[in-house]
Amino acid sequence: MKVVRTLTTKLDSPWGLAPLPGGDLLVSSRDTGKIFKISADTGQKTELGSVPGVSAGGEGGLLGLAVSPDFGANHMVYAYFTTDSDNRIARMMYNDKRPEGNQLGAPNTIFKGIPKGELHNGGRIAFGPDKMLYAGTGESGDRGLAQDKDSLGGKILRMTPDGEPAPRNPDAESAVYSWGHRNVQGLAWDADKRLWASEFGQDTWDELNLIEPGKNYGWPKAEGKAGEKGFVDPVEQWKPKDASPSGIAYAEGSIWMAGLRGERLWRIPLKGDKSAGKPQAFLDGKYGRLRSVVAADDGGLWLTTSNTDGRRRPGGQDDRILRLEVR
């Protein structure tokens, strides 16, 4: 892996990152509630607008972004964000013919009621190969919610683009796809359409999990490879000081995982549904905290830093988007 380009700099609390058809990128600003388009050719920033109702504070605010799989027909952009009462998902029509700062239509809330907290708001959303929308949630600091099947906290959710429980969910009446999670931060599918997720641990182990519908991933009764009956163990685990994982992407046969506290990019080579070798670390400390990573159409990666999220000492690096070449 090597960094081949800095696309843009001086971003403000970037969180969600989503490629548009054609290669340009959308990036969300957690603390300001704004969405920007970044030209993949020039790095020029264009403000689309602000998402109404965002309540930033702690780890909450404007978080994950996703672009409709039918974007060419409907021009819909999806956002996961924190309000005064909950975390929710809304979609907005994007019209680049309108003036800068006024290119987003009124938000239509498709899903609400996800528990919010000062910490552990989850926030990653992505459309899967099945064109269903997946969302990683946190237990908002209330551990018991992760083991409560009736709660939306500490779960991976699967829904239609309209926010209804997706067909063939474990419970036909529920969007809950998997449970027993602490704070899911990354979602990605491999070449065989298997779903992988990164998850913050507490003091012992961070996790990379292979997600299966209806399975229990253990929190708070198990953390890391506990080997306990009824819980699914992670495929890989790390000490929080080395990872504190956020976004993940799949490219060149591996999962690539961005680390916040660990300030490095991890490569986890895969062989089927298992790790094919010891994870490798790149960029250790070079760019500070790393937040989101997404695959580009040509097999490379886009990576955002997260040095303006309030967790890094004043005077540290600004935030940027990097272009990576992997092989």
**Token pair of 135, please?**
């969302």
Q: Which residues contact 249 (CB under 8 A, 6 or more apart)?
A: 188, 255, 256, 293, 294, 295, 301
User: Nearest Cα to 84, choosing from 120, 52, 107?
Assistant: 52
**Which neighbouring-strand residues pair with 179?**
155, 216
Query: Would you say 201 and 240 are in contact if contact means Cβ atoms under 8 Å apart?
Result: yes
The tens-digit pLDDT sequence of the chain (327 residues) is 999 999 999 999 999 999 999 999 999 999 999 999 999 999 999 999 999 999 999 999 999 999 999 999 999 999 999 999 999 999 999 999 999 999 999 999 999 999 999 999 999 999 999 999 999 999 999 999 999 999 999 999 999 999 999 999 999 999 999 999 999 999 999 999 999 999 999 999 999 999 999 999 999 999 999 999 999 999 999 999 999 999 999 999 999 999 999 999 999 999 999 999 999 999 999 999 999 999 999 999 999 999 999 987 666 789 999 999 999
**Token pair of 263, please?**
């300030």
Separation of alpha carbons 266 and 282, rounded Å? 6
